[in-house]
Each structure stands twice: as C-alpha cells, then as structure tokens.
Structure 1
Amino acid sequence: MLFSDMPGDEGLPGRQRRLAMIAVMMTTAMTVFDASMVNVALPQIARAMNVRASEIIWVSNGYLLAAAMTLAIFAALAPRVGYRVQYPCGLLVFTLSSLGCALSDTPHTLIAMRILQGIGAAATLSIGPAVLRSVFPNRLLGRILGMNALLVASGTAIAPLLGGTLLSAFSWQWLFAINLPPGILAITLAMRVLPERAKKITEPFDIPGAFLSAIVPGSLIMAADSLARHGGQSLTADNVLHAAGFLALALAAGAAFIYCERRASKPLLPLSIFSSSRFSLAALTSMASFISQGITFIALPFLFQNVYGYSAFISALLFTPWPLGIILAAPHAGRLSDRFPPALISTTGLCIFVTGLALLATLPEHASVLNICLRSLVCGIGFGCFQSPNNREMLSNVARENSSYASGTLAIMRMFGQCMGSAAIGVILALFSQQDLHSESHAVHIALWVAVTSCLIAIIVSVSRIRRP
C-alpha cells in the first residue's frame, strides 16, 4: 500500500511517486557510497600519487568542505529556482565531477574534482527531505523518511566493503567511475518526475548572508590546513600566523553573518530558531559528535592498512560493524525517544560511543580482526543510540514553519563536524607522522584520543540540556 493511490491522497500519483523515490534514493546512495568508499582508498591513492598522507586527506576534506560551505546556500536557493531545476543540476555536477575524479592523474586535479562533487552533493542533499515531502502524502512521510535513514546506514555499511572489493580487483579510479550509470539514470528520472514547488519565493536572495555563510567554514578549515601542510618539524611562526589569520577571518565573517541575518528581510538562516537553548545545545552536541566520527573514519584506514598491514578489502570489512551497530540501535532509540526524554537517550548513546572510541584508541600493537570489530560495533551502537533522539530533539524544539531550517542546520552541523574532524586528522598526521611505521601508528592513536576528547565535550554539552525546560 506504500505507493498506491487513495482517495484524497496528497503528493504525486502512484507511478510518478515510485519513480521520484527511486531518483532520490539513488542520489542518496551515491553520495553516501562516494564519501565512505573514498576513505578506505586514501592510503592507496597516497601511494599511487606518491604524496604524504596529510596532503591526500584533502581528497576527503575537499568534498566535505565544499558541501559544508554551500548547504545553506542551496537550501535557500531551492524555493526560488524550483526542485526540478536544482536537483537535476546538482546531480549533473556530481556525475560529471565523478568522471573528472576517475580521469585525474595529479593530486591537485583530483582534489578540485572532489570539491565540485561536494558542491553537486550539497545541491541535492540540502533539499532531499523537502523533495520527499512534496512527493509523498503526510500519512506516508514518516515511513519514507525512515526508509531513507535506513538506506543511509545500510549504504555506510556496504560502501567500505564494496570499495575494498573494487580496490582489490581494480584501481582506485573505479571508485568514482561507478557513479556514472546510476547518475545518468537519476538525472533522467529527476527531470521527468520531480515536482515543482506550488509557489516559488520571489523575495531577493540574501547574497551577503550566502557569501558570509561560505566564508566561515572555509576559513576554519583553511586555518587547520595551514598547520597540516606546513606542520611537522618545519612548523614556524609564519605557519602559525597564517592559521591565526584564517581563524580571525572566520570570526569576523561569523560576526558579520549574524549582523546581516538580523537585518535581512528574508534571511538565509532565521536566527530565531536558535532562541531555543535546547535546539542550540542539540546542534552543538551534533557537531562535536560528528567531529569525533570524522576523525575516526579517516584515521582507521591508515591504522588498518599501513600499521597492521591488512589489505584494502579486509580494512573495508573492519569498518562494517560500525554502521551495522547504527542499523541495530537507531530504530529502537528513535522509538524510545517518543516515550522518554530524547536528551537522556542521546546522552546515554554518547556515553556508549565514547567507550567504543576509547577501546579503539587502546588497541594493542597486533590486534585481531574480531577484537577490532567488537570495538567498532560498540561505537556504532552508541552513535545509533545518540543520533535519532538528538535529531528529534532539534526538530521538535523549533516552530513547525521553521522545520526546514532546522533540517538544514542539522545537515550543516553533520557536514561541518565531519569536515573539521577530517582537517584535525590532517594536522595530526602532519605534526606527528614522519613517514615511518612507528610514527604513523603514534599519530593515529593521538588522533583517536582527540576523537575521544571531542566526544567528551559533546557529552558535557548534552548533559547540560537534560534538565532544561
């Protein structure tokens, strides 16, 4: 009955609804697969291009940074240009840049193509839930969003395994070339079946807000990159000065953004949603937790492949318990958050998550596959218990008419947290890894303890909201 037409049904007719859902789900799967598979391949890409690990981090970081810088812009742009224009255009950019990644023969070209991929992904991810809302009637919306969440978790579980299989049989370029057939099909479906908004916004676009919203995350990541690219034994006062300059630019842009948004007739992001302390604390908790996850997801492939000597395929298998734990825990945590305080459930999940991170940070010198998998499973269960209730906390503490902005803020916190985590591991590898096995193992374990620290900060913030009205 999920796709059948009923009297008085909202949304699209049954067949058109099915095709639209396929287009959105294929796009979600591609973006999830792309981000997860590439992390597994970073050590192999670094060796193939003969570059340092701290430099090749930008293959992942460039994608996340571009998406974090443009998510808010595309979320505000969609009501003006329409879903049927923005969604296929974003897919086209993502698909063509995937081809560009596969054809890249230098690190700089590959990073540039990944940045374009991130922009294309942001154009679709920023409006994915809104597209589903326009496609499905209210009575099916919760079910289809649950299916979409399950797809993300399942894709995260399968992607490293698929990536490891491709790397064991083919070169790393096939990780990007695989996006071409589903990308072309999704573009075709999106152009044919996605609906337009019933009423487009005609107010002027908040250009100053868009410009400043991109500068803030960009400057913060460039501050970290200034240390990562020039770190290690050659770290000088000039390097620190460059990083401080970018940090000052980020702070100035952030202050200017707040000033402009308070005075804009149609702001890019209404600041009124942050008047709820519970919403703001949930957003900060989300960002800190995704910093931990971002650090860990980048650090572990280097530990598994370069330190423990596992193949890319085995390394991918070692990742699988984490998203499987999310799949097992997230649905139950979501149901519990309907009966008990979501802040309490999510804080409990963070406590389990930080336990798993500490277990990974204390892995012995020669760890078995089972040992690693059990510790990763604890992380996944904890993160699954945290994420669903925390998302519910964010969305339920804003007015209904601002739910789309809350959803956009949630995506920005997730992407920006992952991006900051990726930048942090780049700095740590540059400072502590000297291209030998012992120093790289030391650097990875330091990174894992930084992830533990970030998660502890998330717990402190999360605990502070439990008793708030």
Structure 2
Amino acid sequence: MDSEQGLPLPQRYWAIAVVALGITLAVLDGAIANVALPTIARNLLASPADSIWIVNAYQLTITISLLPLASLGDRIGYRRVYMAGLAVFTVSSLACAMSGSLLTLTLARIVQGFGAAGIMSVNTAIVRMIYPQKHLGRGISINATVVAISSVIGPTVASGVLSVATWPWLFAINVPIGRVALAIGTKALPRMDGHRRPYDYISALMNALFFGLAIVAVDGLGHGEHRPYVIGEFIVTAVIGYFFVRRQLRQSAPLLPVDLLRIPVFALSIGASVCSFCAQMLAFVSLPFLLQNGFGMSQVETGFLMTPWPLVIVFVAPLAGVLADRYPAGLLGGIGLAVLTVGLALLATTGPHPDAFDIGWRMAVCGLGFGLFQSPNNRQIISSAPRHRSGGASGMLGTARLTGQTLGAAIVALIFGVEPQHGPLIALGVGAGFAATAALVSLLRLTGKRSVETV
C-alpha cells in the first residue's frame, strides 16, 4: 500500500467504518456506566462508593496504557494493535455482561479498558493510512465527530437501554457490534509493517505509575482528601516523572514522545487540546447541576437542552475537516476556541429564569466553536509528526483528551467543594478561561511552521 495515497475506494469507506465503530464502542462505554451505577450497585449488593470503581477501573486502565500501546503500534504495526484491542474489548464486554459480583465486573472492566486503549491509541494513526494526505482533514473530521458525539450521548444511550432491558445489556450489546467490526477490519484495514525495535518495558511501567498516580492525586485534590496524602502523591508523581522524562530523552523513538514535543507546532497543538477538553469537561459536569438545581429542569429536559452542543458538532466537524485541508489549523482553531469562549461566557451569564431557547442557542454556540477547533487541531497533531511516528502522535492525541477531561472534572469538584451554591456558574467561567487560553495557544501556531507532513 502506498501510505501517501491512502486506500482505494470502496476499501477506504469500509476501513473508516471499522475505525468509527471501534472508537464509538470505546468512548461510549466510558460514559454509559455512569448512568447505570446505582442500578448495578443495587443488583450486585455493592455500596455506592465501591461501585465507582466500575467507572474508575476503565478510565484509569485506558489512561495508563494509551502511550505504551501507541509505541507498540509504531513497532509492530497499527493494524495489529487496533484489531487486538477490538478483540479484547469484545470478549471482555461479554465478561462484563456475565459478571455476578462487583469484583468480577471490575476485573472485566480493567481488561475492557486495555482493549479500549488498543483501539484509541492508534485509531488516528490508522486514519492517516486510510486517507491520502490531501484529504486527511476529512478523515480526521469523521474521527473527531464520532469521539465528540460518543462522549456526550452516553447517558442518553444508557437510559434508552435501561428502559427496555437490564444493565448487563449495556455491555452485551457491544459483542455483535464488535464481531461485525472485526470481520470487516480483517479485510479492510490497511496493512503496514512497523519498525522492529526492542520494546521498552521499563518505560511502560514508569508511564503507568506516572499517569496513574497523577490522576489519583488530581482526583484527591478535587474531592478534598487528606492534604498530606495528596501532597505525598504529587511528590512521588513528580519524582517518577523526572526519571521517566530523563529516560525518554535518551531514546530515538521514546514511548513518551518527547521527540515530537520538540516540534513547536505539535507541542502547541497538544497544549490547545488539553485546555479545550478541560473547558469542555468543566461545562459537561457543571451544566446538569445548573440546569437541574439552579433552573429546576428535569433529567429529561437537561438531556434535551444539552443536545444542541453535540448536534451542531455533527454538522460543523465535516466542514471543518474540509477547511483544514486548505487553511492553517492555528487560524481555524483560534476562531473556533474564541467562539467556544463566548458560548461558555454566555452560559455563565444566563439570567435566573431562562427558557429552553435561551439555553439551547448558547449550547449551539459552544458546539460550533468546539466543532470548528477539533478536526483541524487533530489533523495538525497527526500530520506534524513524521509518518513513522504516527502511533506516538495518535497516543498523545488521546492522552491530551483524557488529561484535559480528568483535570476539568477535578477542578469542578474543587469548585463545588469551595462554593457549592454558585459552583456551576463559576465552573463555566473557569471553562471560558481555559477556552480563551487554548485560543491564544492555537493562534501561536501561525508564527511557526505548519507541519512536517513530508518528513
């Protein structure tokens, strides 16, 4: 396969369909379990506090394994990592559905997290192989749209399934979809050999310890855990991080892609991504509290009023992908993030008695801004890396998203702990600040080289 020309039609359409199915399953499963937690806890005779591990085990496993699996993809081929991840995810979904205790369900979710990480770590790298360089923005926009929609509609999907079936079906439904994706992927996904180098298991372990402890420390800070413990966790995280980075600096193709972070446009794109997803999570976590506790909306009304955000992304992201093939990502991203800043500021300054239209059009503004930013930014991240380091770039893209979302959720918890009455409005204001910062970072890319697509 000529990696510069992408796949021929119609194989290209089948391949992108497999990527879309896989990322939908991986991202959606991170959101649907939240809604079902009370039901699962009652059914398994578990306490609400213990049941949180059904969610945390999945998210933590993905975060600590994204970069190691992306690095493995650079070495043995992205297709192998993706298909293995999809197979593990499908089998572990069946194990989740058959679980009869909290322990077995949590263990199955850990395995499922590794499968999801295999999918998410290299999915953007595979998109780079599917599409020719001149149409890469279109492929990235499809991927970004699927991720954005899957992140938001999880509660709606979970509510729909639970209204007609028991909680195991939340996981069992993944099995036939995963089998279809595996069958198509076997024939449609591009075959590319990796670069056979010894795998750095020590770096993989250090990566897991660093990101795992960092998330635990940030979460503990947000939830007001005993301060000496939190400080100790941050200190240990910093020590591990120091030696981890030192080890990566001595390698030509490091697991933590510090080599890519030396490319200014790549580093700025990652920074903009972290800040933007932090802003998005600040909004998504705080808005239900504002709508229900502040404005007296029901759960159904809340879900309906939050729909304009992802709905607008569905229409804007493909357009942004086409524009990304013609105009600088720094400009498109800067404009999009400025619009997102305005949208969040408008939500934060909504009057005390808004109607559905007042909230809906503000949500649409946020969706317009985020949709205009994400596809060009993701294209910039993947195309600014040398082609043989596409796996590392893809892994960093997913890591930036998860880091921003984790940081955003922790900040919301911290704000709510300090100011519970006005917490949602403050969180939206802070989110607007992060979006404005991301806009400035995005515009800084205009001063440098756009990409190294030909490297």
How big is each residue's C-alpha offset from its partner over 1:413-444, in whole Å with a ceiling of 9 and x where there is no partner?
Answer: 11221222233334445x359xxxxx4x5444
- Provide the TM-score with structure 2 as the length reference: 0.81
Once residues 88 and 288 of structure 1 are traced to their aligned partners in structure 2, the CA distance between those partners, rounded to angstroms, is: 31
Cα 1:410–1:185, aligned 2, differ >3 Å: closer, same or farther? same
Q: Indicate yes or no: 2:273 matched with 1:293.
A: no
Once residues 46 and 295 of structure 2 are traced to their aligned partners in structure 1, the CA distance between those partners, rounded to angstroms, is: 20
- Provide the TM-score with structure 1 as the length reference: 0.79
Q: Indicate yes or no: 2:222 matched with 1:223.
A: no
Map 1:273-284 → 2, pairs under 5 A = 273-284=260-271
2:331 is matched with: 344
Cα 1:135–1:458, aligned 2, differ >3 Å: closer, same or farther? closer
Once residues 246 and 204 of structure 1 are traced to their aligned partners in structure 2, the CA distance between those partners, rounded to angstroms, is: 31
CA apart distance, 1:146: 4.2
2:204 is matched with: 210
Q: Indicate yes or no: 2:424 matched with 1:409.
A: no
CA apart distance, 1:66: 2.3
Map 1:181-200 → 2, pairs under 5 A = 181-191=176-186, 194=189, 196-197=191-192, 199-200=193-194
AA partner of residue 25 (structure 1): A
8 A contact 2:41–2:47 mirrored in 1:
yes
Once residues 428 and 376 of structure 1 are traced to their aligned partners in structure 2, the CA distance between those partners, rounded to angstroms, is: 22
CA apart distance, 1:182: 0.7
8 A contact 1:38–1:60 mirrored in 2:
yes
CA apart distance, 1:25: 2.7
Once residues 416 and 384 of structure 1 are traced to their aligned partners in structure 2, the CA distance between those partners, rounded to angstroms, is: 19
Q: Indicate yes or no: 2:307 matched with 1:320.
A: yes
Cα 1:13–1:338, aligned 2, differ >3 Å: closer, same or farther? closer
CA apart distance, 1:311: 4.8
Q: Indicate yes or no: 2:433 matched with 1:453.
A: yes
CA apart distance, 1:200: 3.9
User: What is the number of residues matched between the two proteins?
Assistant: 448
How big is each residue's C-alpha offset from its partner over 1:57-103, in whole Å with a ceiling of 9 and x where there is no partner?
Answer: 66555433322221111111124444554333312332344345445
Once residues 353 and 401 of structure 2 are traced to their aligned partners in structure 1, the CA distance between those partners, rounded to angstroms, is: 33
SS in 1 for 2:197: coil
2:120 counterpart (125, 139, 142) = 125
More displaced, 178-187 or 118-127? 178-187
2:344 is matched with: 357
AA partner of residue 459 (structure 1): A
1:4 is matched with: none
More displaced, 333-342 or 120-129? 333-342
Once residues 54 and 292 of structure 2 are traced to their aligned partners in structure 1, the CA distance between those partners, rounded to angstroms, is: 18
CA apart distance, 1:359: 2.8
AA partner of residue 379 (structure 1): C
Once residues 443 and 343 of structure 1 are traced to their aligned partners in structure 2, the CA distance between those partners, rounded to angstroms, is: 32
Once residues 101 and 191 of structure 2 are traced to their aligned partners in structure 1, the CA distance between those partners, rounded to angstroms, is: 40
8 A contact 1:39–1:297 mirrored in 2:
no
Cα 1:308–1:144, aligned 2, differ >3 Å: closer, same or farther? same
AA partner of residue 202 (structure 1): R
8 A contact 2:141–2:320 mirrored in 1:
no
SS in 2 for 1:386: helix
AA partner of residue 157 (structure 2): L
How big is each residue's C-alpha offset from its partner over 1:256-300, in whole Å with a ceiling of 9 and x where there is no partner?
Answer: 122111223542244232223232122111101111212322333
2:248 is matched with: 261
Once residues 285 and 173 of structure 1 are traced to their aligned partners in structure 2, the CA distance between those partners, rounded to angstroms, is: 38
How big is each residue's C-alpha offset from its partner over 1:286-334, in whole Å with a ceiling of 9 and x where there is no partner?
Answer: 1011112123223334444566565544333222211122233334444
8 A contact 2:313–2:370 mirrored in 1:
yes
8 A contact 1:73–1:210 mirrored in 2:
yes
More displaced, 395-404 or 447-456? 395-404
Once residues 76 and 5 of structure 2 are traced to their aligned partners in structure 1, the CA distance between those partners, rounded to angstroms, is: 23
CA apart distance, 1:106: 7.0
8 A contact 2:279–2:431 mirrored in 1:
yes
2:452 is matched with: none
Once residues 12 and 340 of structure 1 are traced to their aligned partners in structure 2, the CA distance between those partners, rounded to angstroms, is: 24
CA apart distance, 1:33: 2.8
Once residues 267 and 331 of structure 2 are traced to their aligned partners in structure 1, the CA distance between those partners, rounded to angstroms, is: 16
More displaced, 305-314 or 416-425? 305-314
8 A contact 2:210–2:241 mirrored in 1:
yes
Q: Indicate yes or no: 2:410 matched with 1:423.
A: yes
Cα 1:149–1:397, aligned 2, differ >3 Å: closer, same or farther? closer
AA partner of residue 85 (structure 2): G
CA apart distance, 1:349: 1.6
8 A contact 1:71–1:126 mirrored in 2:
yes
2:93 is matched with: 98
AA partner of residue 24 (structure 2): A
CA apart distance, 1:28: 2.1
Once residues 11 and 315 of structure 2 are traced to their aligned partners in structure 1, the CA distance between those partners, rounded to angstroms, is: 32
More displaced, 134-143 or 360-369? 134-143
Once residues 396 and 13 of structure 1 are traced to their aligned partners in structure 2, the CA distance between those partners, rounded to angstroms, is: 20
SS in 2 for 1:451: helix
SS in 2 for 1:290: helix
CA apart distance, 1:120: 1.3
CA apart distance, 1:14: 6.5
Identity of aligned residues (%): 39
Once residues 464 and 139 of structure 1 are traced to their aligned partners in structure 2, the CA distance between those partners, rounded to angstroms, is: 24
Cα 1:265–1:462, aligned 2, differ >3 Å: closer, same or farther? closer
2:453 is matched with: none
Map 1:45-64 → 2, pairs under 5 A = 60-64=55-59
AA partner of residue 117 (structure 2): A
1:3 is matched with: none
Once residues 118 and 78 of structure 1 are traced to their aligned partners in structure 2, the CA distance between those partners, rounded to angstroms, is: 17
Once residues 242 and 13 of structure 2 are traced to their aligned partners in structure 1, the CA distance between those partners, rounded to angstroms, is: 45
8 A contact 1:57–1:422 mirrored in 2:
no
Once residues 392 and 169 of structure 2 are traced to their aligned partners in structure 1, the CA distance between those partners, rounded to angstroms, is: 36
Once residues 432 and 53 of structure 2 are traced to their aligned partners in structure 1, the CA distance between those partners, rounded to angstroms, is: 23
AA partner of residue 201 (structure 1): H
Cα 1:351–1:115, aligned 2, differ >3 Å: closer, same or farther? farther
1:436 is matched with: none
8 A contact 1:154–1:327 mirrored in 2:
yes
